[in-house]
Amino acid sequence: MSNKLLEIEDLCVNAENKEILKGINLTINKGEIHVIMGPNGSGKSTTANAIFNNPLYSKTQGTIRFCDEDITNSKTDEIARKGIFMSFQMPEEIPGVSVTNFLKYAKSKSTGKPVKIFEFKDELKKYMEELNMNSKNMERSLNVGFSGGEKKKNEILQMLVLNPKLAILDETDSGLDVDAIRTVSKGIEMFKNSENGILIITHNTKILSSLKVNYVHILIDGKIVKTGTQELAKEIEENGYSKYKNI
């Protein structure tokens, strides 16, 4: 059985008739945390959306494989059911659907099994305590009236509950204060194990200060121009991206 979770080969992607990704290659193995960093507009979020086959983005070249299966042209809901999770920069508000009911429905869809509500609520409360979330939020409409930090913590809560094979965290740290970033990092550590993988997409290094990551990739103008260890993120924090913009 292969140790590879995600394989992206020579991926080129357009959005609104403009070429955004220009030949991305990336492999994530089980037990690894990868980080994609880059300035605004470099193609970071496009990479995440392309993995999920968002119809607003068209692939012109390349393949995406997940657990040795080609998912390049799979439907978004099928990709999610195979075990890929994505958190969003701007989580949607869903009036009339409680956090509990949303997660209960998502859990049953991902596992194909009915959810026992009392056990499920106990699990939710446990995770919410760990993430410093108010357990009363369980009965509130999903993200409605939530602060930015609460919305981002809610995304991490979803990741823990759904327990995917691969979690893609798109700018989960943006707009958060130091305490909230620390809590999000704690949730990532709670999730991480030897059988799953994590792809963190960010443009700053704050979320990495309390995480141990395996690889950092620098994405500039639709291409990965440098891959290194966590030390690479520290270099970017100190010197910025200018060194890599003309590679």
Helices 117-130 and 178-191 meet at what angle, rounded to 10?
A: 130
**Given this model, what pLDDT does residue 181 score?**
85
Rg (CA), the chain: 18
Total number of domains constituting the chain: 1
**Given this model, what pLDDT does residue 209 score?**
81
Q: What are phi and psi of 165, to 5 degrees?
A: -80, -35
Closest Cα to residue 5, out of 92, 79, 78? Answer: 79
Residue 140 belongs to a domain with what CATH number? 3.40.50.300
Size (the chain), residues: 247
pTM of this structure: 0.93
The contacts of residue 206 (CB under 8 Å, 6+ apart) are: 173, 178, 181
Closest Cα to residue 25, out of 71, 78, 63? Answer: 63
Render each residue's pLDDT in the chain as its tens digit; 247 residues. 679 999 999 999 999 889 999 999 999 999 999 999 998 889 999 999 999 999 999 999 999 999 999 999 999 999 999 999 999 777 889 999 999 999 999 999 888 889 999 999 999 999 999 999 999 999 999 999 998 888 989 999 999 999 999 999 988 777 777 888 888 899 999 999 999 999 999 877 888 888 899 999 999 999 999 999 999 999 998 988 888 877 6
Separation CA 43–CA 14 (nearest Å)? 10
Closest Cα to residue 224, out of 54, 27, 15? Answer: 27
Please state, as a whole number, how many other Cβ atoms lie within 10 Å of the Cβ of residue 15. Answer: 17
**Given this model, what pLDDT does residue 148 score?**
85
**Given this model, what pLDDT does residue 80 score?**
92
**Given this model, what pLDDT does residue 92 score?**
87
Separation CA 14–CA 10 (nearest Å)? 13
Strand, helix or coil at 57? Answer: strand
Strand, helix or coil at 85? Answer: strand
**Given this model, what pLDDT does residue 1 score?**
61
Closest Cα to residue 106, out of 162, 164, 168? Answer: 162
Residue type present at position 54: N
Contact status, residue 81 vs residue 71, Cβ threshold 8 Å: no
- Domain span at residue 129? 4-244
Report DSSP state, residue 109: H
